[in-house]
Amino acid sequence: MASEKDAQTIARDTAAKGRNVAEDTTRRMAETAAETTQRGADTASDMMGKATQVAGQVAGQTSDQLNRMMGLSAQAQGEVAQQARENMDVMTQCGSVLMDGMQSIMREWMGFAQEAMARNAEGINAMMRSRSVQDLYAAQSSMVKDEMELLLNRSVKVSELSAKTANDAVRRLNARAEGAARHIRRSA
């Protein structure tokens, strides 16, 4: 009888420790994912703002320099200015695509954190219901397996979102480059 009570006490203590570790790990993972995603979104936003500003300055300077160097006609100057505006529009669109992608990735990580916490609570409850040390270890193993499976599945989803975002941005850049090439061929 004493050994059964000892086993139950050990099971309860182990389950409590497991619950604390699982909750702490999930909380830290969620915080880290949110912080990383937010830093990435902030950096992307800052970079886009700076890139737009610099690109606008460079486009204006380049246009002025070309006009002076080549003595372009008013019509040619207008075309150069139009192409510079179109390039800026594409850069802005790409930045928007990247920001939307970052937001989707952030939502995915936040969904992971919420689902992980719910699964942890279920796993802890299963461990608390354990009647033997073997039951406890089985519940704990199941919880760890489920956590890793969830993390890997969400990581795949985040990778897919990242690839889609990059492909969308590249597609917009390529469309602009093709449009500029057609314009140059028509002008020649």
- For the entire predicted model, the pTM comes to 0.55
Q: Which helix (H) or strand (E) holds 71?
A: none
Residue spans per domain, the chain: 1-68, 132-187
Q: Which helix (H) or strand (E) holds 130?
A: none
What is the model's pLDDT at position 74?
Answer: 64
What is the C-alpha to C-alpha distance for residues 119 and 153, in angstroms, rounded to an integer? 14
What is the model's pLDDT at position 150?
Answer: 92
CB 97 within 8 A of CB 167: no
pLDDT band with cut points at 50, 70 and 90 for residue 76: low
What are the pLDDT digits (tens) for 23-75?
Answer: 676 667 667 766 766 676 666 666 666 666 655 565 556 656 655 555 556 66
Residue 165 makes CB contacts below 8 A (sequence gap 6+) with 97, 98, 100, 101, 102, 104, 105
Both structure tokens of 112: 């992971």
What is the C-alpha to C-alpha distance for residues 83 and 179, in angstroms, rounded to an integer? 10
What are the pLDDT digits (tens) for 89-142?
Answer: 778 888 888 888 888 999 898 899 889 888 988 988 898 898 888 998 999 999
